Amino acid sequence: MLTSKENNTLLRGAFVLGKGEKLLQDNPRAIVREIFWSHGVTQREISDRTKIPQQTVSRLVNSLFEDGLVRTSCGSGKASSGLEPNPQYAYCYGLSILLDAIAVALMNFKGEVVATAHVSLDDMGISSVLNKAVKLAQDMATEHGINEERVLGIGVGISGFFSSSDGKMNTHHAIEEWAEINIAETVAEAFLLPTWVVNDGTGAAAGEGIAGVGRKYKNFVYFFVSSAFGGGLINNGDMIRGTHGNAGELGDMLPAKLYSHPNLKLLERILLKHGVDVPSMYRLNEVFDPEWPGVDEWIYKVQDSFDLVATASSALLDSQAIIIGGHIPTKLAEKVIPRIDVYAQFRRGAKRPMPEIVCAGVTDCPVAVGAATLPLRDWFL
CA atoms within 13 A on the CB side of 83: 27
**In this structure, is residue 7 part of a structural domain?**
no
State residue 96's pLDDT score.
Answer: 98
**What pLDDT digit, counting tens, does each position of 199-247 carry?**
999 999 999 999 999 999 999 999 999 999 999 999 999 999 999 999 9
241, amino acid identity: R
Same domain as 353, residue 234: yes
Measured CA to CA, the distance from residue 94 to residue 73 in angstroms comes to 27
CA atoms within 13 A on the CB side of 29: 12
Assign 360 to helix, strand or coil: coil
Q: Phi and psi of 83, rounded to 5°? A: -120, 150
State residue 23's pLDDT score.
Answer: 56
Same domain as 293, residue 163: no
Same domain as 220, residue 134: no
Q: Which residues contact 298 (CB under 8 A, 6 or more apart)?
A: 266, 267, 270, 271
**What pLDDT digit, counting tens, does each position of 269-283 carry?**
999 999 999 888 898
| 8 A C-beta contact, residue 365 and residue 105 | yes
Q: How many helices (H) and strands (E) does the chain have?
A: 11, 14
Same domain as 115, residue 66: no
State residue 256's pLDDT score.
Answer: 87
* The overall pTM is greater than 0.85: yes
120, amino acid identity: S
pLDDT under 70 in the chain at which residues? 1-25, 74-80, 165
Q: What's the CATH code of the domain at 155?
A: 3.30.420.40
Measured CA to CA, the distance from residue 181 to residue 168 in angstroms comes to 5
Count how many domains the chain has: 3
State residue 14's pLDDT score.
Answer: 33
Same domain as 134, residue 59: no
Q: Of 13, 15, 159, nearest to 169 (Cα)? A: 159
First-residue to last-residue Cα distance in the chain: 17
Last residue of a domain, one of 36, 59, 85: 85
State residue 24's pLDDT score.
Answer: 64
State residue 280's pLDDT score.
Answer: 87
State residue 73's pLDDT score.
Answer: 81
H or E stretch at 169: strand 169-171
CA atoms within 13 A on the CB side of 192: 10
State residue 3's pLDDT score.
Answer: 39
E strand residue ranges, the chain:
70-72, 83-85, 91-97, 101-108, 113-120, 151-158, 160-162, 169-171, 195-199, 220-225, 229-235, 238-239, 321-326, 356-359
Same domain as 243, residue 119: no
Range of the domain at 251: 215-359
Same domain as 96, residue 46: no
Q: How many CB atoms lie within 10 A of CB 352?
A: 11
